[in-house]
Structure 1
Amino acid sequence: MDRRDWIEKRKHIEDRESKERAIVEKLLPFLEGKIVAGYMPILGEVDVTRFLGERIQYLPKTDPRSNRIRFEKFDHETKLEKGHFNVMEPPIDPLSDPSQIDVILVPLVAFSNTNRLGYGKGYYDRYLKTSKALHIGLAFEEQEGEFMIQPWDVALDYIITDKRILAKKRGDNYECCYK
């Protein structure tokens, strides 16, 4: 399957709210007392924003000139604006300090082990390569599958689905723990 097929499959996942609740239940222990960067979901991505409320303190802002993202401070009073790719983004905040972020929640198109297939522009891979935060991908179980992993792709520390948690180990091996 190509990205378009995966995205279409993701858009038609059934029992979405119940599956998102199951993902949040597995995710919460990772967020306790942490500074968290999230994302505004598009095209059927896992939407945990409505369950996490004030726990998400940063959101990505894209810079299409450099093909990079940067995380900006966010609270629920922040007026979001439509950014590149029609994603709702926070305005630039000169007081943002993304080095304080402990956990980054990462959207994905598909996953295999703890590897993610994104949209193909490399925004997250470039950012994650330099980030010391914990990288957690959020996915529906139906998004697991085979795809080509590129040398520049960054494996995530964890992928949490509605059914399990996949954890990266040394050497890019992974373990699965069911909860």
Structure 2
Amino acid sequence: MTKDEVRARLRAKREAMSVFAVEGAAANLAEWMYRLPMPVGEGETIGCYLPIGSEPGSDAMLDALIDQGFRLIVPVVPDGDPQPLHWAAYSLATPLETRRWGLVEPKSESLGPGALADASVIFVPALAVTHGGARLGRGAGYYDRSLPASRAVRIAIVYDDEVLNDLPVEPNDVPMEWVLTPEAGFRRLDG
């Protein structure tokens, strides 16, 4: 199967999930944020996305990270053709707006693409990830353009049945080091 075919299948499966299943998974993911598998000091920067629709997670997982004293940055999609993501500081009081592709982003000032270099950990959205670390995203390549500028530990967040044995991979795909799923929690990948 091509990447687009796999994406279509995975999106359809997510869209068929019940609200109860999505909310239950989101609650579990927020709880897992209190059990990071690597040391991260108070005040250190963590990058995380703001989930939309049936994407795994909710703002509760970001709230859990803030609760532990971490500085959070979230992605901002720049105008124009795909390029590295920009980042903005996120707090419980950050005003949000729906922007390009229905993504929720802070109304606050962009910190630019270089802000990711300060992150110790980055939680990356994915449609699927393999046991070896290959990640399948939405297809525009924003994260694959952004992640090489950072030494942050890369953690993909997916549903438990989206950790697969194989995915189509391209040379510019940036591998993940860990996966976080609602039921199994954090797992180190073999990549």
2:55 counterpart of 1:36: no
2:178 to 128, 147, 158: 158
Aligned-residue offset at 1:111: 1.5
TM-score (norm 1): 0.81
2:28 counterpart of 1:22: yes
Question: Which residue type is aligned with residue 28 of structure 1?
Answer: Y
Question: Which residue type is aligned with residue 152 of structure 1?
Answer: N
Contact in 2 for aligned 1:105/1:135 (Cα 8 Å): yes
Aligned-residue offset at 1:140: 0.8
Distance 1:91 1:137 in 2: 25
1:58 to 51, 67, 73: 73
Contact in 2 for aligned 1:136/1:160 (Cα 8 Å): yes
Change (3 A) 1:76 1:149: same
Distance 1:139 1:83 in 2: 23
Partner of 2:86: 70
> Which piece of structure 1 moves more, 125-134 or 53-62?
53-62
Change (3 A) 1:94 1:13: closer
Aligned residue pairs, count? 170
Distance 1:2 1:70 in 2: 27
Distance 1:78 1:25 in 2: 22
Q: How does 1:109-124 map to 2 (within 5 A)?
A: 109-113=127-131, 114-124=133-143
Flag structure 2 segments of 5+ consecutive residues without an equivalent.
Answer: 67-71
> Which piece of structure 1 moves more, 111-120 or 95-104?
95-104
> Which piece of structure 1 moves more, 34-43 or 105-114?
34-43
> Which piece of structure 1 moves more, 17-26 or 71-80?
17-26
2:125 counterpart of 1:107: yes
Flag structure 1 segments of 5+ consecutive residues without an equivalent.
Answer: 173-179
TM-score (norm 2): 0.76
Q: Give CA deviations for 1:58-80 in whole Å, capped at 9, x if unaligned.
A: 11000142413111111122211
Partner of 2:59: 49
Partner of 2:10: 6
Distance 2:135 2:13 in 1: 16
Contact in 2 for aligned 1:27/1:160 (Cα 8 Å): no
Aligned-residue offset at 1:44: 1.1
Distance 1:152 1:94 in 2: 26
Question: Which residue type is aligned with residue 78 of structure 2?
Answer: D
Question: Which residue type is aligned with residue 82 of structure 1?
Answer: T
Contact in 2 for aligned 1:72/1:98 (Cα 8 Å): no
Contact in 1 for aligned 2:74/2:105 (Cα 8 Å): yes
Q: Give CA deviations for 1:16-52 in whole Å, capped at 9, x if unaligned.
A: 3333333344443325634222111124111142244
Contact in 2 for aligned 1:35/1:55 (Cα 8 Å): no
Q: Secondary structure at the match of 2:9?
A: helix
